[in-house]
Chain A
């Protein structure tokens, strides 16, 4: 790789080992990137569904999903546009809890998450299970804003943040991978920030 003449990087002391390659610490900022107009979703009409290759499709209302056992994530998030953010605290429900209720079918290996806006993103099922993924409605103790995906978004913090679908409305379990919105537009099917899987072919 070519060195850039004159570039030493800003004074950064020791390298922050929490940062995946090519990422920077956004500090207190939480940049916003989505392609839809920001929707305003009424929790009275909000639902979340798990369907596809499951034993019995399941559907929760806002009150029903919030009555499930609570689960918290504390840690970092990483956006493909190169910012990372540390010390985040999200509260919601573990995707494991939702999948246990629906019952994962024997052939299920992938999932497509969908949003109330029509946004989709695909993930291997293994990245949604084992305490690695949540549906969350609070961040740092406050309800999630519309612009950050409120009332509820998917949270898969070990993958680039476009996998954490805003305004999430459901998961469909599949036997084969089916690329979602960004993935059809050249972004990676998996999206592991530590492997810098930003774009198709990485």
Chain B
């Protein structure tokens, strides 16, 4: 059994620069950016970073993006960015940023959704998979994959982030509209049996997605007997 991370999740340091070391397309509307921090900082899965853009006239725009990679000894981390309609920062990152560019970043941010390695189940809706992927990767890297199970809901196969990596005995994918050929579960929204199959006693729940998804998933979990005190929720709103 791995020891639980003690104390509180790491707090953000000052602003620093990060070099874009790699860009990967995850879906038609999502890209992952591998950043090399000039001043590496420890983080826990579930935390996020702020990216700040500065124009020549001093105008700035900043947004928060969840860390998708697992904590490691390296100075690198991955942020996955969903392209939002009218998203000033997300569209710049998607359309203009290239490998070798330097961005201002700050973090890690967020304590309530950070994972302390107690056995957990992540429930993801769409892009809500990003912070949960950090947890999944962490559990696998520790050689204790069952510490973190994942139920991920997406509309169709083309919408699944990390598609070549996410699958495994601890993961189940719920396709709501279209399913891959030969997929046993028919398309449809997340149901109580989807959660029950992944639940055993005493798992912490980490729910991430849109407000509607989070509220639906939370209701299912409560109905399945998970105490509300064990459910953590992170909602992705319209934040550009």
The chain A residues found within 8 Å of chain B, CB to CB, are: 1-10, 12, 15, 21-22, 24, 26, 29, 31-38, 81-83, 147, 181, 184-186, 199-200
Contact = CB atoms under 8 A, between A and B. Distances in A.
B37 to A, nearest CB: 14
B61 interface: yes
Contact of A31 (B219, B232, B234, B237): B237
Contacts of B101: 4-5
A186 B106 CA distance: 13
Interface residues of B, number: 47
Contact of B64 (A36, A81, A181): A81
Interface in B202-228: 211, 214-215, 218-219, 222, 228
Q: List 3 A-B pairs, minimum CB-CB distance, nearest first.
A: A185-B111, A31-B237, A37-B218
A1 B104 contact: yes
A130 B29 CA distance: 47
Given A2-B17, A22-B60, A24-B61, A7 B53 contact: yes
A37 B12 CA distance: 26
B238 A31 contact: yes
B237 A3 contact: no
A147 B211 contact: yes
Contacts of A31: 237-239
B54 A181 contact: no
A37 B96 contact: no
Interface in B82-110: 88, 92, 96-97, 101-104, 109-110
Contact of A186 (B12, B61, B218): B12
A185 B54 contact: no
A199 B237 contact: no
Contacts of A199: 11-12, 109
B189 interface: no
Contacts of A12: 59
A26 B53 CA distance: 18
A5 B231 CA distance: 41
Given A2-B104, A32-B235, A199-B12, A186 B111 contact: yes
B235 A37 contact: no
A47 to B, nearest CB: 21
A10 B111 contact: no
B239 A7 contact: no
Interface of B: 8-9, 11-12, 15, 17, 52-57, 59-64, 88, 92, 96-97, 101-104, 109-113, 211, 214-215, 218-219, 222, 228, 231-235, 237-240
Contacts of B96: 6-7
A34 B232 CA distance: 10
A9 B112 contact: no
A155 to B, nearest CB: 19
A4 B222 contact: no
B92 A83 contact: no
Contacts of B12: 186, 199
Contacts of A22: 52, 60-62
Nearest to A22: B62
A186 B11 contact: yes
A36 B215 CA distance: 10
A185 B240 CA distance: 24
Contacts of A83: 238-240
Contacts of B234: 35
Nearest to A6: B96
A170 B6 CA distance: 32
21 contacts: A2-B17, A2-B54, A3-B55, A4-B55, A7-B96, A15-B59, A22-B52, A24-B61, A24-B88, A31-B237, A32-B237, A33-B237, A35-B113, A81-B239, A82-B61, A82-B240, A83-B239, A83-B240, A181-B112, A185-B111, A186-B109
Contacts of A15: 59
A155 B18 CA distance: 37
